[in-house]
């Protein structure tokens, strides 16, 4: 399954995943004001790695095989499962976040802006914004690198 220019889908999806993690590393390192290599092993956070990769895969299969192909259906099912799990896990993670928020706000040196940023960039939970950004990043990556030459 190759495009006219010869770049296989799996390579574009893999590159999308790597770029997503590099963007996450840069964002979290700038926010925390130190190099935070631990985010490279996390699939969640801003941007969402599973959403970026699966959106990239879906857009590429639609572009190359058509909307009504079995490959597109397969990619769509994976994307729907990922979004469902994200929503389901968000409820459980929000309970944990409430406890952690109470602990963090009890710290005397934590300012209000720092708490807002820390809560928004919490790597243990997918926020809808994280999923949205991951989806947009994956779609744009697929459109940028998956267009057939001709």
Positive or negative, the CA dihedral 94, 100, 104, 106 is: positive
pLDDT at 89: 72
pLDDT tens by residue, the chain, 150 residues: 444 457 899 999 999 999 999 999 998 888 888 887 888 887 777 888 889 999 999 999 999 999 999 999 999 999 998 888 777 776 666 666 666 666 666 666 656 655 555 555 454 556 778 888 999 999 999 999 887 644
Name the token pair of 45: 């956070």
Task: For residue 127, give the nearest of 67, 48, 11, 62 by alpha carbon.
Answer: 48
Cβ-based neighbour number of residue 67 at 10 Å? 10
Distance CA 16, CA 140 (A): 10
Helix, strand and coil in the chain, % to nearest 5:
75, 0, 25
Cis peptide before 47 (omega within 30 of 0): yes
């Amino acid at each position: 399954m190759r495009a006219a220019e010869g770049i296989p889908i799996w390579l574009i999806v893999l590159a999308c995943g790597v770029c997503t993690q590099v963007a996450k590393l840069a964002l979290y390192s700038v926010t925390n004001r130190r190099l935070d290599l631990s985010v490279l092993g996390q699939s969640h956070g801003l941007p969402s790695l599973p959403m970026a990769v699966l959106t990239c895969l879906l857009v590429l299969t639609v572009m190359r095989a058509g909307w009504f192909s079995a490959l597109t259906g397969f990619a769509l099912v994976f994307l729907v499962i990922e979004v469902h799990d994200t929503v389901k896990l968000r409820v459980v993670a929000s309970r944990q976040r409430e406890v952690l928020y109470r602990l963090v706000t009890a710290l005397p040196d934590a300012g209000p802006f720092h708490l807002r940023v820390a809560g928004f960039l919490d790597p243990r939970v997918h926020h809808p914004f994280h999923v949205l950004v991951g989806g947009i990043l994956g779609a744009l990556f697929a459109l940028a690198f998956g267009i057939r030459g001709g």
